[in-house]
Chain A
Amino acid sequence: MGITSRNNRGNFDWLLIVIFLALIGIGWVNIYSASIDPSGVSDFFDLNNLYTRQLLFIGLSLLIIIFILSLDAKFFERFASVIYVTSILSLLGLFIFGKNISGATSWYSFGSFGLQPSEFAKAATALALAKYLSDIQTDVKSFVHQLRAFVIIALPAICIVPQPDPGSALVYAAFFFPLYREGLSGIYLIIGSITIALFVLTLAFGPIYIIAGIVLIALFLLIKNRKKRFGKRYYYILPLVSIVFVLSVNYIFQNVFEQRHRDRFNVVLGKEVDMKSIGYNTYQSEIAIGNGGLTGKGFLKGTQTKGNFVPEQHTDYIFSTVGEEWGFLGSSLVIILFVGLMLRIIFLAERQKSQFSRIYGYSIAGILFIHFLVNIGMVTGVFPTVGIPLPFFSYGGSGLWGFTILLFIFVKLDSNRVNEW
């Protein structure tokens, strides 16, 4: 035991920790700028200030880090199932004890603070999935096992959607990446990609052009491979299924989606949308970022930020403050930090000896990636508005702790890899 802990201390991946601290630090500076009251001077230590509260959250997250790092690395693998079940129960408990904040029942309330269990469910799910997939008896190529893995992933997502918080549920798509890494058939990837591509293209250009395109490609492939003996029926079936899907896109879009979702798609696709009402968030956020220029307006000098033009600026739209006050240089630095963090995690995951650690690493890289892509894509106007936070940046205790736990379990697992055999 003594030997193990001494080894552990020296084996933390300091690069991950440095990037983590940098993101937390930069994030807090921007929350400070976005939430400081420009008219009056208020006490820095007043807990009504969002930036003061965030500082408190950061302090608490350091305690969480110490706690996680002091646990035994095997604890997470051993207790993965317990953690997962607890997490699901906490999500279900929301239906009874949850507090409704701005339309979503996602919170347990403790005085003036709230806890959002969905932020912790990601880590729990990642642990459970890693545990299940790393089991010697699990075969990713078996359809039954795929189904079970899917249930593990889908269960928390299903609990979250009706809160309603579809954005947080979307994050669970991230678990495709570890599954694929562990040997899930590529056909899922292809079908998924084609479905998304067809959906977006049909909305953008209308079904006629897309069907014409499908027919042309199918004919081309058919003629090119006319000498093949087998598998020819796919050349008929796949295009047919695609065409049926394309034809149903409009129906899905008009009847399954709600108006606000349609509006969000239309904003991104550049369709005629009133930028003063429906596209307001995106429009203001683009103005703020565009206003930054190369070097930005400077700390606390952003006119859009000061004027509170961007809604939810300290939470989901925090990146627009970075864009306005620190310019292209500052915002690309943040992107480089995020990309660096994720690539480092993937790199570390690949060198794990334990399959559990690798799957877990891939899971958190995927989760961080979905958050990163959807959030920054939304703030810069290339992705429909989906309310998910930017990891380590956005204001909020639950989110910060959720990501901290997510990341530092991996730091702990990674530090223990020398003990694996």
Chain B
Amino acid sequence: MRKILLFSIVLISGILLTGRLFYLQILDTSYATLSVNNAIKRVYDYPQRGHIYDRNGSLLVSNQPSYDVMVIPREVKPFDTTEFCGLLKMTREALKTRLDKARVYSPRLPSIVIPQLTKSEYAYLQEKMRKYEGFYIQKRSLRDYQVDFGANFLGYIAEVNRSDIEDNPYYQSGDLKGRTGVEKQYEETLRGIKGVKYIQKDRFNRDIGAYKNGSLDTIPEPGKDLTLTIDAELQKYGEELMVNKRGGIIAIEPSTGEILALISAPNYDPSLLVGRQRSANFTKLWYDTIAKPLFDRSLQAEYPPGSPFKTLNALIALQENVVDTQESFACHGGYYYGSRGRKLGCHHHPSPLSMVPGIANSCNAYFANVYRRVIDKYDTPQEGMDRWHHHLASFGLGQYMGTDLPTGRPGYIPDSDYYNRAYEYPKYKWFSTATISNSIGQGEVSLTPIQLANVTATIANRGWYYTPHIVKGIEGQTELIPEKYRTKNVTTIDPANFEPVVEGMFGAYNYGTAAGVQIPGIEICGKTGTAENYTKIDGKRQQLTDHSIFVAFAPKDNPKIAIAVFVENGYWGGRYGGKIASLMIEKHIKGEITRTDLEDWILSHSLEEEYAKPLSGKPFPINDGKKISGKVEKPIL
């Protein structure tokens, strides 16, 4: 016993310690991960984000270097604070607070002293920096906007948030990511792929060299440049025209589905969301709940389409063979229906009218008749309704347009289910008269401006369209844009049935409701729209001044541009919408403006007063003071 005690204790201890090592090194694998987190740092090498060009190759968005003044508190030696503060244009107290904060964060890790110096500030500072030990300048890349328009579709980039990081392991805290517009939609194309370097750290988190001699490191892949379908000139001009108005303009090239201009008013300067003032500016835009500058009206606003919708009803009627181009309908200041003499009013125009002049003069009675014939063609109104819905769906209405922009709304096209629910069918029955407002683009139907522009492009093409899209090429190559935007969508309406409608729209421009906006030398086909609209004030439904709507395409044959204009509360179609549309068309086709009277009128007129009315808290007149809101039924153009 005495001889073997120490001997056994030594042996047993050796075995136990070996067992402990076996557990730590072989059985428990969690330590290896802990070690990696603890000792290996990943440093990312961010590639330049791709540039954005317009369809003519002019640069819209590039990158600018930005310079942050950084400090490593431990390495700071005593320095001339007065001079330094002078250079950085900051007070001594501010510098002291910054340095104290940095020291609290970490004496050994860099902290920002002043973020985002401009290029000129940097140039001045650069030579003197070496005098200040512990301070250095770090370069970062920010977006540099060459234009002050187009913020709605260009979108902005912002630091990723927690859910971005959780959703996509590519992103690390501090990374930038497209938030809206093409920056969001084409995020992966524009951003490229960041490179990564693995760095060995010491216990103070300081770098002490490459891990495994850099064998795991990757090289960054640069971001790709985007070419947009937008015509910067046209876009800029459109935004100028929309100053002091609310609404949207969408111009599409019918033969390709390319969006030439996508204007939402009010808009903002995209460079507001870059740099030191970004946060303050964003807050200001975000909390403007009245004008809603961050709300893209061209894609997201769902308006009653008004009279331009009549062209669709005419097409459906022709396709369903319920009317021909010769048959005329009388209009007695409106359309009377139902047993109690209800009336869908109309304005003054020659009567009776057949289809082409019916469109040109936008006769409500004509379209009420035609619409009822479509619905009543079948045994039940349900069947007729669904048939009508089926045709409209082929124009992409009542559903998301599928553009290559991250926002959008489906609008609404009712079907039989909707009315069955609304009228509690079969407890109660409903007939075509119940849905009569659809005939003139009021009632249950709603469209976004881009849907209306696409309808116009489809009419211009006589029956087909490409899904509207905003990207023309990636790195200059058109093949790289998605297949979807290179595939024709054909409507359920025969091409031949489009001709009378085109003629009607041509008539509207020549002698009808849009005769006031003619431009010499261009054959425009247009259609005015004046849409009643309502808002809620203190919970009560209140009518506002009508929206001014206009759709047009030109030239009549081989069209180059199809356009839809919505101006909120612009009173009637020809007043704002028609003028703006014809100016845009002239700008696009001629490249210069001859109707300067129209231009002057638009530029000098503001609707801000109109927009202030519902907020005044008092009863207010609508439609240019002729009526007090919410009182009288009025004719619809």
Contact = CB atoms under 8 A, between A and B. Distances in A.
A286 B34 CA distance: 10
B209 interface: yes
Contact of A289 (B11, B25, B201): B25
Interface in A376-407: 376-377, 380-382
A369 B9 contact: yes
Given A306-B200, A307-B202, A323 B24 contact: yes
Given A289-B21, A343-B10, A373-B13, A303 B28 contact: no
B26 A328 contact: yes
A305 to B, nearest CB: 9
Interface stretch (B35-43, B154-162, B332-340, B566-574): B35-43
Contact of B208 (A306, A327, A381): A306
B202 A306 contact: yes
Contacts of A270: none
Interface residues of A, number: 48
Contacts of B40: 303
Interface in B192-222: 200-203, 208-209, 211
Contacts of B18: 332, 335
Given A306-B202, A339-B14, A346-B6, A327 B39 contact: no
Given A290-B35, A306-B200, A369 B13 contact: yes
Contacts of B13: 339, 369, 372-373
B20 A309 contact: no
Interface string B376-416: 00000000000000000000000000000000000000000
Contact of A380 (B9, B17, B34): B17
B22 interface: yes
Contact of A290 (B2, B32, B201, B203): B32
A287 B35 contact: yes
Contacts of A416: none
A199 B520 CA distance: 106
Contacts of A323: 21, 24-25
B5 interface: yes
A117 interface: no
A336 B15 CA distance: 9
Given A287-B35, A323-B25, A350 B3 contact: yes
Contacts of A369: 6, 9-10, 13
A38 B39 CA distance: 14
Interface stretch (A100-108, A246-254, A291-299): A291-299
Nearest to B14: A339
A373 B11 CA distance: 11
Given A294-B26, A309-B203, A323-B25, A183 B31 contact: no
A183 B2 contact: yes
A346 B40 CA distance: 46
A128 B369 CA distance: 126
A286 B24 contact: yes
Contacts of B10: 339, 342-343, 346, 365, 369
Interface in A317-363: 323, 327-328, 331-332, 335-336, 338-339, 342-343, 346, 350, 362
Given A181-B3, A366-B6, A303 B35 contact: yes
B208 A38 contact: yes
B30 interface: yes
Contacts of A304: 35, 38-39
A328 B25 contact: yes
B18 to A, nearest CB: 5
A293 B31 CA distance: 9
A127 interface: no
Contacts of B209: 38-39
B428 interface: no
A289 B39 contact: no
Contacts of B28: 290
Interface in B37-79: 38-40
Contacts of B170: none
A189 B10 CA distance: 16
State the majority secondary structure of interface residues on A: helix
A293 B26 contact: yes
A365 B34 CA distance: 37
B200 A307 contact: yes
Interface in B595-621: none
Which of A288, A303, A307 lies at the interface centre, i.e. has the most chain B CB atoms within 10 A of its CB? A307
Contacts of B2: 180-181, 183
Contacts of A373: 13, 17
B202 A309 contact: yes
Given A346-B6, A380-B21, A336 B14 contact: yes
B200 A303 contact: yes
A308 interface: yes
Contacts of A382: 17, 20
Nearest to A174: B6
State the majority secondary structure of interface residues on B: helix
B9 A306 contact: no
Nearest to B207: A39
Contact of B32 (A181, A291, A376): A291
B21 A307 contact: no
B14 A338 contact: yes
A38 B26 CA distance: 28
Contacts of A291: 31-32, 34-35
B36 A303 contact: yes
Interface string B169-183: 000000000000000
Nearest to A365: B6
A186 B200 CA distance: 54
A343 B11 contact: yes
Interface string A164-205: 000000000000010011010010010000000000000000
A294 B28 CA distance: 11
Contacts of A336: 14
A292 B27 CA distance: 12
Contacts of B38: 284, 287, 303-304, 307, 309
B403 to A, nearest CB: 50
Given A287-B34, A303-B36, A343-B11, A293 B25 contact: yes
Contact of A309 (B6, B31, B39, B211): B39
A332 B9 CA distance: 17
Given A38-B208, A181-B3, A287 B31 contact: yes
Given A291-B35, A303-B200, A376 B17 contact: yes
B197 to A, nearest CB: 15
Nearest to A376: B17
Contacts of A288: 35
A47 B543 CA distance: 92
B5 A180 contact: yes
B106 to A, nearest CB: 15
A306 B13 CA distance: 30
A217 B203 CA distance: 50
Contacts of B30: 290
Nearest to A331: B21
B550 to A, nearest CB: 68
B13 to A, nearest CB: 5
A267 B267 CA distance: 62
A377 B12 CA distance: 13
B208 A290 contact: no
Given A287-B35, A290-B34, A308 B202 contact: yes
Interface of B: 1-3, 5-7, 9-11, 13-14, 17-18, 20-22, 24-26, 28, 30-32, 34-36, 38-40, 200-203, 208-209, 211
10 contacts: A180-B5, A183-B2, A303-B36, A307-B38, A307-B39, A309-B39, A323-B21, A327-B25, A328-B25, A380-B24
Shortest beta-carbon contacts, A-B, top 5: A290-B31, A339-B14, A291-B35, A303-B39, A328-B25
Given A181-B5, A335-B17, A343-B7, 20 more contacts: A181-B6, A290-B31, A291-B32, A303-B35, A303-B40, A306-B208, A309-B39, A309-B202, A323-B21, A323-B24, A328-B22, A343-B11, A346-B10, A365-B6, A369-B9, A369-B10, A372-B13, A376-B17, A380-B17, A381-B24
